Structure 1
Amino acid sequence: MEAADPIRERRGHTLELVGAAGGTQAYHPAKSLWLTLQDLQVVQQLEPAGGDAQSTLSTYIHGTASFDDCRLSIIGESENSTRTVQVSFAAREINTADGQGLREWQEELGIALSDIPLGTARLGYNRSDREMQEPDQWWASCLVPASSLQALSEGVADGRLAAVKVGLCLRGAYISEQVVADSPGESCVCLRPGKSGNTMESPEIADGYVVHLSLDLTKVSLRGLEQNESAHHGLALQEQLNLTEADAVSVLVEKLGTLVASLKWLAALVALLVVVFAFKNR
């Protein structure tokens, strides 16, 4: 006989965990989750295409992210919590169904916001696999339009990204005010355990939408630009003065050359006249 599921579903997408002593703990749908991204890198991968089509080079962004003001856990496993996840970005265009799905979910949650989907997202947890020697891993996967991925990859490649903020609205992510042992005072965002009742199974994946994506680029000093521009103008002016002086010297040399040539012709004429007068006086 299978043990009863300790998780009960209540109205408004709320879950209730029944403890061994009969106490209950409520978990409400998380309306929004905020992450700060770190240690991003651009990864390009050659992927095969079906049929006779040529392989394509796809771009991904990999890194880590920290959840703001909350920790991640699994319902019934409060001792297993973290604020850090492995994050990845890939390209996918938004369609009409995405916008409709976000509106319907926010209406069910009673959120009166004018958010539009900027991408789709998933949040999950993989338990360790001893055979594959893989540790436990929290992960978040985001699919955003190609233009957004290009801006993000260019910022990473140029080293100009100062900060990246991401906001998510997910189904299947629940928040509780339960006290986290290693971080009291912080709320806990949880995933629902697998429904099979096997505690070794990974929890259910939360899926939804990216509703916020901001890229803060490094600041540029205007004073530095002004100094560079002033130095450039000064250099240009000096070069102009140098050219002017060179032109003046060139003109003077040319005039001196003409004068010398004229004097030579005059000396030759005087010598000729002297010879003529000498013959006449003989």
Structure 2
Amino acid sequence: MTSPTRFIPQSQLPVPVDETLPTMYDLPSDNPEEPGLPDEFHFFQPLLLRLTFLPLNWNPEFVFSAADLNLYYDVQHTQWYKRPDWFGVLGVSRLYQGQDLRLSYVTWQEKVNPTVVVELLSPGTEDEDLGETESEPDEPPTKWFVYEKILQVPYYVIFSRYTNKLQGFRLVDGEYQAMNLTDGRLLMPELGLSLGLWEGSFRKIPRLWLRWLTLNGELIPEPSEEAIAAKQEAQQAKQEAQQAKQEAQQAKQETNEAKRRAEKLAERLRQLGIDLDEVE
């Protein structure tokens, strides 16, 4: 009879675990057969982009953005798709046909292509993200080709969390041209926004984040930041009201004290036989 498998606690292993077993960096989330599967950063970073993507000259009801959502782009090859880490679209209903959450984004049904696409570099997808690969015959085209030639996305942005390098490309005469950074930001006047790096804490995670700002470089707050700011403003207003109340009470006390002194002085003058009504 075969004895049951006995698991040995790590504390009883003869050699320190951290010297024998692979680490998180040796065992990344990427699947060798499907590179670019999301890790934690690929969840939080697109979320921050989505929460701060508020084009100033657009009704929020006609602004759509998504992360890790299938983007179907070729009506002749309906099964071909790309899955951008994040993309934003202007001029479509937030909900599909104003009614339902999207299962995917199908360009021949939506009639509007993305305005901006952001790819977060991963070791398994870096070459394709940067347009350094070519598609094989009878195979789907590369991301770069799809964004530039087929969808003609006006802005294509690439960010590396490993080097903190931000690159932007703008579609000019049908081809992507590298964008210059202005004060470390990519300016997109058509959106009334800029995209830049911000060092701060998002969801209690401090690091360098990519986020949307105004053209002047002011942060566009996400909901939790708005709540904190509103709470601080309420506290400030409460403190100012309390201070005003205290000042009013102090002024009232001073008025009453002055009145008492005047009455006391008048009484003293009457005792001295001085009629205040006759005093000029």
Please give the TM-score of this superposition, normalised by the length of structure 2: 0.29
Higher relative CO (Cα under 8 Å, sequence separation at least 6) belongs to 1
* Larger proportion of strand: 1
Structure (1 or 2) with the larger CA radius of gyration: 1
Please give the TM-score of this superposition, normalised by the length of structure 1.
0.28
